[in-house]
């Protein structure tokens, strides 16, 4: 039974990848189980300079999901390549995906160039879709022209596969995906969180200090699935599907929609062993469904 998949020349033993922002730098879970069961890890988003992030409270629960407004808290890209990735590489042999955010075209290019030169990085995931910061991230991802501009600028200087992480908070995700493909993107990750809000009805104020935050969790799965399928039908480059994935069944469904690999996000926060359990369940479900090679189901729907 074959679970191995390939992302632009990078081989993953299985398609399961913890999503950026939900698994830290991998090191946080190293003492809990062998990370090498995973196909890859998308590391916590990094910016050029260290960031403290947004004011608290940053998290609000919702039925079948959560809102977060962490605001890209991270130690910066230099700490990523000089400390975090070398430490992770001592214990993990799977695909390492460096997730990069920026607040200007120049920041994206510089941060991606630094990560590209890091021997331990396999794939660059350029986040143009973060809804939790002002003046960056989603400002690029909601415009086809801006997303394409970031893509082209990063591709001009980087040699490793570049995946652009797209926002669902747009009217036409296909147009943005195609613009990134035409600008040279090697692949796409979709989707990031939807923009949402909760209100404390006793205090009559927003729960999040930042007012709005990124909505993730099981509730968004049908939306993510639809967008993955729409983009797969329009683009030829590979997709990492993400959004509400919580089971091996969700992984199969996401791959049938068009994803080559599948990221597990908020479910890791609810159950830190979620990705491991999905990896273990996947071959059992494949056998039940008569799937000999998981690649045969990519985009069948």
Residue 73 has pLDDT above 70, yes or no: yes
What is the average per-residue pLDDT within 178-198? Answer: 97
Q: Nearest 5°: CA angle at 50, between 49 and 52?
A: 135
**Residue 135 pLDDT grade (very low, low, confident, very high; cuts 50, 70, 90):** low
What is the average per-residue pLDDT within 67-78? Answer: 96
Domains of the chain (ranges; CATH) run 5-51+75-195+217-297 (3.20.20.70)
What pLDDT score does 156 carry?
98
**Residue 130 pLDDT grade (very low, low, confident, very high; cuts 50, 70, 90):** low
Closest to 15 measured CA to CA, from 228, 301, 232, 294: 294
% of the chain surpassing 70 pLDDT: 97
SS3 state of residue 229? helix
What are the two backbone dihedrals, phi and then psi, of residue 219, each rounded to the nearest 5 degrees? -65, -25
How is residue 184 written in tokens? 């040279």
Catalytically active residues are 130
pTM score > 0.85 for this model?
Answer: yes
**Residue 132 pLDDT grade (very low, low, confident, very high; cuts 50, 70, 90):** low
- Residue 83 carries which DSSP code? I
197-240, pLDDT tens digit by residue? Answer: 999 999 999 999 999 999 999 999 999 999 999 999 999 999 99
């Amino acid at each position: 039974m074959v679970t191995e998949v390939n992302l632009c020349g990078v081989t993953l033993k299985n398609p399961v990848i913890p999503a950026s922002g939900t698994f830290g730098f991998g090191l946080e879970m190293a003492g809990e189980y062998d990370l090498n069961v995973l196909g890859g890890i998308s590391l916590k988003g990094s910016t050029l300079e260290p960031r403290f992030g947004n004011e608290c409270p940053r998290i609000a629960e919702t039925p079948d999901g959560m809102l977060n407004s962490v605001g890209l808290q991270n130690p910066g890209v230099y700490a990523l390549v000089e400390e975090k990735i070398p430490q992770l590489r001592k214990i993990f042999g799977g695909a390492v995906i460096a997730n990069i955010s920026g607040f200007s075209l120049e920041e994206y290019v510089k941060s991606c160039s630094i990560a590209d030169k890091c021997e331990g990085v396999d794939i660059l995931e350029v986040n143009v879709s973060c809804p939790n910061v002002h003046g960056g991230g989603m400002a690029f991802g909601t415009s086809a022209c801006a997303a394409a501009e970031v893509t082209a600028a990063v591709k001009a200087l980087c040699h490793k596969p570049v995946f652009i992480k797209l926002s669902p908070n747009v009217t036409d995700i296909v147009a943005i995906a195609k613009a990134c493909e035409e600008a040279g993107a090697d692949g796409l990750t979709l989707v990031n969180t939807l923009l949402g809000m909760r209100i404390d009805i006793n205090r009559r104020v927003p729960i999040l200090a930042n007012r709005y935050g990124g909505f993730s969790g099981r509730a968004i799965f049908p939306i993510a699935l639809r967008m993955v399928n729409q983009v797969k039908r329009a683009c030829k480059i590979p997709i990492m599907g993400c959004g509400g994935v919580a089971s091996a069944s969700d992984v199969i469904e996401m791959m049938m929609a068009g994803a080559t690999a599948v990221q597990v996000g908020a479910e890791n926060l609810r159950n830190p062993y979620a990705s491991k359990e999905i990896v273990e369940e996947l071959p059992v479900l494949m056998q039940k469904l008569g799937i000999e090679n998981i690649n045969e189901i990519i985009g069948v729907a």
